[in-house]
Chain A
Amino acid sequence: MSGDAALQERRRGAMRVLAHVPVAEIGARMAEVPVPPHQHLRAPESGLVMVRGRAGGDGAPFNLGEATVSRAAVRLQSGEVGFGYVLGRDDDKARLIALCDALLQSPDHAEAIETRVVAPLRAQMQAGRDRSAAEAAATRVDFYTMVRGEG
């Protein structure tokens, strides 16, 4: 994987985690890492994204319905530009995600963001998913066949 592709996957991975955790958790983690001067490149705003499905699950796309989305863009003084897009109407969350995205692109801050913000939140998100999966698994039907015979 080239450096660019690796960075892109790291950014996507961080965005995926941050989008799934409560804003207060992101804020609390961010308060523990150094954050350099930065400015809004785009003030946080809320809008809509049309969510698409596919006919039959795997066929031609169709418009299922819209979802609310907040977005923001942040620029570090050192020039890195970060973006935040997230379901819901939470400008603060979009701003924090944009800030993390910018910091992940900065050689000076990427390590701290990855290990002290994203990694613990990823573990938290995964724990929640594991719990849901285990609860669903308990409702899995175990079919057994009654065999009629001698003995």
Chain B
Amino acid sequence: MYVAVKGGERAIENAHRLLAHERRGDRSVPELSLSQISEQLGLAVDRVMSEGSLYDRELAALAIKQARGDLIEAIFLVRAFRATLPRFGASEPVDTGEMRVQRRVSSTFKDIPGGQVLGPTFDYTHRLLDPGLAQGGDPETPAVAATSDVPMPRVTDILGQDGLIEPSPTADAGAPVGDLTRDPLSFPAGRDLRLQNLARGDEGFLLALGYSTQRGYGRNHPFAGEIRFGEVEVEFLAEEIGFAVPLGSVELTECQMVNQFKGSATEPPCFTRGYGLTFGQSERKTMSMALVDRALRARELGEDVVAPAQDEEFVMSHSDNVQATGFVEHLKLPHYVDFQSELGLLRKLRREFAEANAAPAMKEAAE
């Protein structure tokens, strides 16, 4: 139990004042603006939007500034803000096939319709620190090339045409879509809830779990069928208007993992799928999500559940970094009464131990 301890108000007030001072840092250094964070630390903003589960670049930038760059603290702030707004409803499901692609690569086919588009990527950089960047200055403007009108179908759609990969699961139009922000989690959880949980799950946790499946803890045999990043239109069917209203576009990263086979006496073998989708450009997270999504389908695909990444209760109960940090960090709060009772118990045990050890000696001495 925790008890309210009075007397700390002044200390708390001054601690927050000191925090604000430290956040500002050296006052002779220009203060960061939200647009600087949003424009120049864009991937941090993407992560906060993804795991904060709220698409709003400006709010995510504010949260990063307020949290002094602590991204989990920023995610916490965004989640708390989200709770203050009413929800108008749910969008029409976005169509990633219609994405305005900035990047699209496949490790399964060299020649895919629409081609391999590298886009803005760290891949193939030498990972050498760039002293030039320390000096600042504008980089070259991007190269341009003629665009083509060749559509960019999802690689899984191409495989699907020949039945080489299982089809995506379907649902009746109008069937309810699980929402873990509205209903408490219960197990077993449907794929909709699992994907929602993973989409807002901690990148580091999912990365480690995805990695564990590659190292043999729940084998997936994955190939990155496709990773794409770009803008997707969002539409919202507003009752009072009577048609789907275009709301604008969001940046999304999508990953289609193609995994080893399933099949049965009645169905020919085919590749299986793992799926990842996140806000912004979050490739590592999206790939990890797709690996873990596939691992969590173990039961559905008749595989033995032997590894942590295949255990949905374990994964879904520990993926949320706001919940996790809340429980870990609450250990900092006063536990004085709890600790006093533990201390009392320990003293009693030690007394009993001492008495028990002293007793035989006395008994021996008497003999």
Contacts and interface: CB of A to CB of B under 8 A. Distances in A.
**A and B associate in one complex:** yes
Given A48-B85, A50-B91, A136-B101, A58 B248 contact: no
Contacts of B254: 57
A134 B56 contact: no
Interface string A111-151: 00000000000000000011111111111110100000000
Interface in B40-98: 49-50, 53-56, 58-59, 82, 85-94, 96-97
Given A51-B234, A52-B91, A60 B168 contact: yes
Given A51-B234, A87-B248, A137-B117, A65 B93 contact: no
27 contacts: A48-B86, A48-B88, A50-B90, A53-B94, A54-B94, A55-B168, A59-B167, A60-B192, A61-B177, A62-B177, A63-B90, A63-B177, A63-B178, A63-B181, A64-B199, A65-B50, A65-B196, A67-B54, A67-B91, A68-B54, A71-B88, A83-B240, A89-B56, A131-B144, A133-B100, A133-B147, A138-B142
Interface residues of B, number: 83
Contact of B96 (A53, A135, A143): A53
Contacts of A138: 142-145
Contacts of B116: 140-141, 143
A56 B168 CA distance: 6
A15 B192 contact: no
A49 B147 contact: no
B157 to A, nearest CB: 7
A87 B243 contact: no
B234 A49 contact: yes
A62 B53 contact: no
B291 interface: no
Contacts, number: 233
B111 A57 contact: no
B115 A136 contact: no
Interface in B227-254: 230, 233-234, 236, 238, 240-241, 243-250, 252, 254
Contact of B245 (A15, A129, A133): A15
Interface of B: 49-50, 53-56, 58-59, 82, 85-94, 96-97, 100-103, 110-111, 115-119, 142-148, 154, 156-157, 167-171, 175, 177-181, 191-193, 195-196, 199-200, 230, 233-234, 236, 238, 240-241, 243-250, 252, 254, 256, 273, 275, 277-279
A52 B245 contact: no
A52 B145 CA distance: 33
Nearest to A142: B115
A69 B192 contact: no
Closest 6 CB pairs of A and B: A59-B168, A56-B168, A60-B171, A67-B55, A87-B248, A134-B144
A52 B176 CA distance: 12
A26 interface: no
A86 interface: yes
B345 to A, nearest CB: 46
Contacts of A63: 90, 177-181, 192, 196
